[in-house]
Amino acid sequence: MSKQLALAVIEQQADAFRDIATKIGRQPELGHQEYFASGLLTDMLARAGFQVEKGVLGLETAFLAVYDTGKPGAVVAFLCEYDALEGLGHACGHHLIGTMSAAAAIGLKAVADELGGVIRVYGTPAEETKGAKVPMAEAGLFDDCDIALMAHPYHSFERSGQSLALDPVRFEFSGLAAHAAASPHEGVNALDAVLALFGSVNALRQQTRSDARIHGIIDNGGTAPNIIPDYASAKFYVRSASRAYTNELTAKVKRCAEAAALATGCGLQVSSYEYSYDELMTNEILSETFMSNLAQAGIAPEEVQDGKDHGSLDLGNVSKRCPAIHPYVKIVEDRLLLHTEAFRDAAMTDAALDRMLVGAKLLAATAYDVMADGELRAAIREEFRQRTSTAL
Q: What is the pLDDT of residue 306?
A: 85
Using CA atoms in the order 368, 370, 375, 378, what is the torsion angle rounded to 10 degrees?
A: -160
Q: What is the pLDDT of residue 301?
A: 83
Q: Which of 88-102, 143-157, 165-179, 308-322 has the lowest mean pLDDT?
A: 308-322
Mean predicted lDDT score pLDDT of the chain: 96
Share of the chain above pLDDT 90, in %: 93
Statement: residue 333 has pLDDT above 70: yes
Q: What is the pLDDT of residue 248?
A: 97
Share of the chain above pLDDT 70, in %: 99
Identify the band that residue 318 occupies on the pLDDT scale cut at 50, 70 and 90.
Answer: very high
The arithmetic mean of pLDDT across residues 111-121, rounded, is: 97
Q: Return d(Cα 153, Cα 242) in angstroms, integer.
A: 25
Structure confidence by residue, pLDDT tens digits, 271-296: 999 999 999 999 999 999 999 999 99
**Whole-structure pTM over 0.75, yes or no?**
yes
Amino acid letter at 335?
A: R
What strand order describes the sheet that includes 267-271?
Answer: 213-220, 231-240, 165-174, 267-271
Is 111 within 8 Å of 368 (Cβ atoms)?
yes
Q: Tell me the HSE value of 120 on the side-chain side, using a 13 A CA sphere.
A: 21
Q: What is the pLDDT of residue 53?
A: 98
Q: What is the pLDDT of residue 207?
A: 94
Statement: residue 1 has pLDDT above 70: no
Statement: residue 392 has pLDDT above 80: no
Q: Which residues contact 125 (CB under 8 A, 6 or more apart)?
A: 31, 32, 34, 38, 59, 61, 62, 82, 83, 131, 132
Identify the band that residue 391 occupies on the pLDDT scale cut at 50, 70 and 90.
Answer: low
Q: Which of 278-282, 297-301, 344-348 has the lowest mean pLDDT?
A: 297-301
Structure confidence by residue, pLDDT tens digits, 49-100: 999 999 999 999 999 999 999 999 999 999 999 999 999 999 999 999 999 9
Statement: residue 128 has pLDDT above 90: yes
Closest listed residue to residue 99, CA positions, set 216, 158, 19 = 19
The arithmetic mean of pLDDT across residues 319-334, rounded, is: 95
Structure confidence by residue, pLDDT tens digits, 2-40: 899 999 999 999 999 999 999 999 999 999 999 999 999
Q: What is the pLDDT of residue 171?
A: 98
The arithmetic mean of pLDDT across residues 323-344, rounded, is: 94
Q: What is the pLDDT of residue 300?
A: 85
Domains of the chain are 2-163+277-391 (3.40.630.10), 165-271 (3.30.70.360)
Identify the band that residue 308 occupies on the pLDDT scale cut at 50, 70 and 90.
Answer: confident
Closest listed residue to residue 77, CA positions, set 63, 60, 90 = 63
The arithmetic mean of pLDDT across residues 110-125, rounded, is: 97
Can you say whether residue 57 is alpha, beta or left, with left for phi > 0 and alpha for psi between -120 and 50 degrees? left
Closest listed residue to residue 117, CA positions, set 287, 370, 363 = 370
Q: What is the pLDDT of residue 243?
A: 96
Structure confidence by residue, pLDDT tens digits, 202-239: 999 999 999 999 999 999 999 999 999 999 999 999 99
Q: What is the pLDDT of residue 389?
A: 85
